[in-house]
Amino acid sequence: MNYRITHETVYRYADDVARCFNRAYLLPRHTDRQQCLDARVHVSPTPPSIDEYQDYFANRVTQFAIHQRHRELSITAESNVVMREPNLSASLDIGLTCAEVLSRLRSDRDAATLAAREFLLPSPMIRPRDEFGAYAAPCFAPDRPFLAACRDFSEKIFEEFRYDPGFTTVATPVRAVLEHRRGVCQDFAHLAIACLRALGYAARYVSGYLETLPPPGKEKLIGADATHAWFSVYSPGEGWTEFDPTNNKPAGLQHIVTAEGRDYSDVTPVSGVIFGGGDSHQLDVAVTVARTSGAPIETRRRS
Amino acid sequence: MTLGTDNVAASAARSPSSERVHDEFMALTPAAREQREEKLRRILRDDGTTHHAGAIAERSSRAWDLDLLPAVIDAERWAPIEAGLVERAELFNLILADLYGERTLLRDGVLPPEALLIHPGFLRPCDGVRHPGTQQLFLQAVDLLERSDGVYVAAADQTQVPRGIGYALENRTVLSRVVPKIFRRANVLRLSPFFASLRQTLQNLAPELDEPHVVLLSPGPTDATYFEHAFLANYLGLPLVQSGDIVVRDGDVWMKALDGLSRIDVILRQVRDWACDPLELQSDSFLGVPGLLHAARQGRVLLANPIGAGALENPALQRYLPAIGRHFLGREPALESIPTYWCGEADDLALVTGQLEQLVVLPIDHRRDEAPVLYPATMTADERDALRARITHRPEAFAAQRLPDRAGCRQLADDPGAGAQAITRTFCVATGSSFAVLPGGLSRRVPGSERPLDPERWSNRDTWVVSAKPLVPTASPFLDRQGRFKLVDRTPLPSRVVENLFWMGRYAERAESALRLLRTLFLTLNGPDPMPRDVRDALLLAVTRVTGTRPGFEGDGALLEDPDEELLAVVLDARRSGSVRANLAALLAAADDTKELLSSDMLRVLNDIEDANEALGAALTGGLASAPEEALDPLVTALLALAGLTQESMIRGVGWRFMELGRRLERSLQLLALCRSLLIRPLPDGHEEEALQALFLTLEMLITYRRRYRGRVELPQGFELLLIDRSNPRSLLFQLEALQGHLDELPRVGVDTRELQPEQRAALDAITTLRISPLVTLGETDADGTRVELAQLLERLRDRILTIGTVVSERYFEHREGPQLLVPTVWEGE
């Protein structure tokens, strides 16, 4: 399946910005199931240069600065990707048990497992709390196949939490999400990661896009898509497997990855420091995920 | 006796060199010792040596506490320690390169990933940022403890912002002055070669540049060790900059200087890792420079130490140093660390929880730069159980260390600190291919041994490494290879510094003119002849107007009835803008920000001003009852000393010019305010003469006037002296012409014309207007009894002078807009 993604971010400031320094995670990274054919970022006003490099987590970072007065900053990323089905789809019920995963995470010495141990640890937005482990524990019986348990756990979040865009902000703590049983994709991903880490599993945050399809017979609207987030778990020897608790399914062809990290703070789509700008700004984000080849898939989603 | 034992029986082990030094100190009579300690304290005060709240403007800063007695170690014993330190620094350098590069330590299983990754000093955004060449680590501080068997072991390392190097130098400088003979005879290894290496390495960090522009980046006067930053910048001849002085533009790093941007190649960094760049390091603090890390990543600027070096401060690393040594060097490092455990290892966890009270516990997963040290031995049983539970719950987040049971630097028999533990902090600096070690450092005595790692409780000593043989003199670090003095004054000043000098001049003048007027008032209030009420009221109103402490006497008529309280407030109330105290505080704060440019005499005078300011409260506690003007005299004298030094000792550079500009500008404005208050509406019944006398007394013109005009004080002779007499350094014309002179000399970038600039035009206009005004006309009053011409003249001059101030500040000083984050800061912890 081939997609073209357009992700436009516009900041409108109350007052002139004298200069700004920005960082963006907008370009799709390479993964096992995804290849980025080409991608570029346009910025207006045009900065003297736009640098791209790979960060610690092998994500693609874009960095630029503007020293020209402006009231409006627009950042547009355009990329073309080829998606493949994830390797395992029906095999979640076989494979390592939860107990085996826990033990091998500590004993295996291969590079992938050592690297995965990063994602056992607390991270800036996900601090350990006892209630996280308590919430998830029933899904992870020691002899249960680990990936099946993860699928059940993802479903548990889907069933027990309300999708409520009005409830949380980027700064809502995970414990509040658990307490009130509501949030958006980012919150559900954070919650799942917090719970998995509390039980001793390696879990990371995935940020990206999900293709949405219009109701039958209607044209797809430009900019109707949005950024999305889900989580990924590690099983020694089996690698990383992604689950989308917001839509209750493993990540598939329609889940396009931009970046992976310990939590949202590692992969914030656009961040920056501005000088001036007054005391408020308006932020508009428009995302379009368009198919450039491949058969349509029927789907409903939320992000 | 070896260092670290105070047992006289062990003195057999004491070598002749340190023995000799010891005996010389012992030979000092109590009186001689007292006298030297007094001198030592005085020098430290004069140098403004402070720690903690660092700013000279704030009394909360703690004077640096230095013992007269140094810790002494023989050169033969020092040699192996030095070799061990060099090896340790080389090893840490390899670790640093590996942690932000290939991470073979994790890949090859030398270091468990959690031990590195859980530490807040490991900054993922720094991954892949490398200096060219193999040397990444520039400066490392190592804290050494002496074990009871006499072997020195490393307790901790500082690599983000190694602190104490400036204090070590200051200690040495002071001690060598206080006990010069003992010092000379002791053959103490010199510190200057180390600083020469430091300077050389800084220059060499940018190998492709002949004369790289090196600066010292400091968080500013609020930092606890700002003294050290200023001291180092001064000693090394580097501009002392703060984050607001730096901007990243087109990928390069620039200093905002008066005449534009000046490129920076190398930064000696005193800002902690996480605070260096709010863009990438998710800092809610703005001590840093947005884009700085990316400039380093692109190789456009070199930071010493590199951002992220704080990862080396992780105590868990010490647990694995022998293995890391084998991994990189094929051997275990010779300099041992004190026994360190990391609870992520099952065996260590069992040992730590089992022997908790014998250990100090170091949480690794702390917030940014807290790095707490826990002392289970001082805890209750319940607290220990709680800590044990925390450790068991998240073992990988804790390390622990076993301190040697006896540690101490050399104890002298009559030393009140005998029995105290001591830690010696020394430093390693990169030299291109290896490292050089400071022969000496800070030895800190810790009274009581319960919380030995707690720096709050340290007093300190210089550390002398003494040689049996006389030393070969070494070249001064200020001489280059040909022995010529290097030019260090070619680098431009940050515009912030210039702005602060400008304000120093203004605040000094404001304080001085307020003091002068108040002194006059106090004198005449209590003088032998009672002052007519209208003259007194006019003077009180002048106080309000000259100091700008409105409403003051302008507002409440009752204050005029009983002015004492208000007058005291105008002197003492620091919270009141315009008061003497407020001006002095602002003066001292501005001085703090320019500290590295001020000579030691200047610093001494600033200390005097501070002391006199302190003393003011006590001197005026009795109110204005008895000779209150006496209380003001020391301050006036100190301010005059400052003005005198500015004239006599400051290079006529751009900084001096702005300071003078500020002073002249302010003096003109004060003079105009005085004239407006006292001269525009002449008092009837010959009372005007008394008002004029007061005016002249305030301006130190009374004697001149009496001598010159021999008699009654009268206009327009008074006007002549006051307004247009060029020979009078307090006349208005004198100020205006001085102002004009300074304005003509200001750097003008991008101005390619003979046309006068707005500020020059304003100065010329003021001078001309003043000079063409007939004095007789100025003295005339209208039917209303107002000197209309004079009022108009003063108004016009005031307008022109204010214009000069505005134009200069807009043209030369940056008006900062504070940065803000686009995405709210991500909280850490809950």
Q: What is the pLDDT of residue B457?
A: 47
Find which of B116, B292, B297, B822 to mutate to test the A interface (most A CBs within 10 Å of its CB): B822
Distance between terminal CA atoms of chain B? 53
Per-residue pLDDT tens digits for B603-623: 889 988 988 888 888 888 777
Minimal Cα–Cα distance from A92 to chain B, Å?
28
Q: What is the pLDDT of residue B237?
A: 85
User: CA dihedral defined by B488, B494, B500, B503, rounded to 10 degrees?
Assistant: 110
Residue B479 clears pLDDT 50, i.e. is over it:
no
Q: Which of B137, B146, B143 is CA-nearest to residue B156?
A: B143
Q: How far apart are CA B50 and CA B588, in angstroms?
A: 14
Q: What is the pLDDT of residue B15?
A: 61
Q: Name which of B297, B396, B826 is nearest A124 (Cβ-Cβ).
A: B826
**Nearest residue of A to residue B393, measured between CA atoms:** A130
* Mean pLDDT of the region B336-344: 95
Q: Residue B662 is which amino acid?
A: G
**Chain A residues with CB-CB distance to B124 below 8 A:** 55-57, 266
Look at A275 and B818 and tell me if their CB atoms are within 8 Å. Answer: yes
Sort residue B189 into left (φ over 0), alpha (ψ -120 to 50) or beta: beta
Look at B365 and A268 and tell me if their CB atoms are within 8 Å. Answer: no
Q: A173 and chain B: CB distance < 8 Å anywhere?
A: yes
Q: A48 and chain B: CB distance < 8 Å anywhere?
A: yes
Q: Report the relative pairing of strands A2-27 and A50-54 from DSSP bridges.
A: unpaired
Q: Which residue has the higher pLDDT, B326 or B556?
A: B326
CA within 13 Å, CB half, B605:
20
Q: How far apart are CA B389 and CA B395, in angstroms?
A: 10
The yes/no answer to whether this complex scores an ipTM above 0.95 is no
Q: Name which of A125, A173, A277 is nearest B820 (Cβ-Cβ).
A: A277
Residue B825 clears pLDDT 80, i.e. is over it:
no
Q: What is the pLDDT of residue A224?
A: 66
**Nearest residue of B to residue A16, measured between CA atoms:** B817
Q: How far apart are CA B343 and CA B400, in angstroms?
A: 8
Q: Which residue has the higher pLDDT, B608 or B320?
A: B320
Q: What is the pLDDT of residue B490?
A: 56
CA within 13 Å, CB half, A180:
14
**Chain A residues with CB-CB distance to B114 below 8 A:** 117, 120-121
Per-residue pLDDT tens digits for B511-549: 999 999 999 888 887 777 778 888 889 999 999 999 988
Look at A117 and B830 and tell me if their CB atoms are within 8 Å. Answer: no
Query: How confident is residue B453, by pLDDT bands cut at 50, 70 and 90?
Result: low
Minimal Cα–Cα distance from A6 to chain B, Å?
21
Q: Which of B160, B253, B269 is CA-nearest to residue B213?
A: B253
* Mean pLDDT of the region A49-66: 95
**Chain A residues with CB-CB distance to B113 below 8 A:** 114-115, 117-118
Per-residue pLDDT tens digits for B344-403: 999 999 999 999 988 999 999 887 666 688 889 889 999 999 999 999 999 999 999 987
Residue B830 clears pLDDT 70, i.e. is over it:
no
- The secondary element (H helix, E strand) that includes residue A188 is helix A185-198
Hey, which of A132-141, A241-250, B408-417 has the most confident mean pLDDT? A132-141
Residues in chain B: 830
**Chain B residues with CB-CB distance to A69 below 8 A:** none
Per-residue pLDDT tens digits for B580-595: 999 999 999 899 888 8
Query: How confident is residue B713, by pLDDT bands cut at 50, 70 and 90?
Result: low
* Mean pLDDT of the region B205-224: 85
Q: Name which of A48, A275, A277 is nearest B250 (Cβ-Cβ).
A: A48
Look at A265 and B291 and tell me if their CB atoms are within 8 Å. Answer: no
Are B175 and B40 in contact by the 8 Å Cβ rule? The answer is yes
* Mean pLDDT of the region A43-72: 95
Q: A278 and chain B: CB distance < 8 Å anywhere?
A: no
Q: In chain A, positions 16-35, which contact chain B (CB-CB < 8 Å)?
A: 18-23
Minimal Cα–Cα distance from B276 to chain A, Å?
13
Minimal Cα–Cα distance from B112 to chain A, Å?
8
Residue A45, preceding bond cis, omega within 30 degrees? Answer: yes
Cα separations in angstroms, B599 against B37, B47, B178, B240: 24, 9, 20, 15
Q: Name which of A23, A128, A277 is nearest B280 (Cβ-Cβ).
A: A23
**Chain B residues with CB-CB distance to A273 below 8 A:** 278-279, 290, 819-822
Q: How far apart are CA B264 and CA B253, in angstroms?
A: 5
Find which of B107, B122, B826 to mutate to test the A interface (most A CBs within 10 Å of its CB): B826
**Residues whose CB is less than 8 angstroms from the CB of residue B824 and which lie 6 or more positions away in sequence, other chains included:** A169, A170, A171
**Chain A residues with CB-CB distance to B99 below 8 A:** none
Look at A57 and B124 and tell me if their CB atoms are within 8 Å. Answer: yes
Q: Which residue has the higher pLDDT, B785 or B436?
A: B436
Per-residue pLDDT tens digits for B21-58: 888 888 888 898 889 888 888 888 777 776 543 333 34
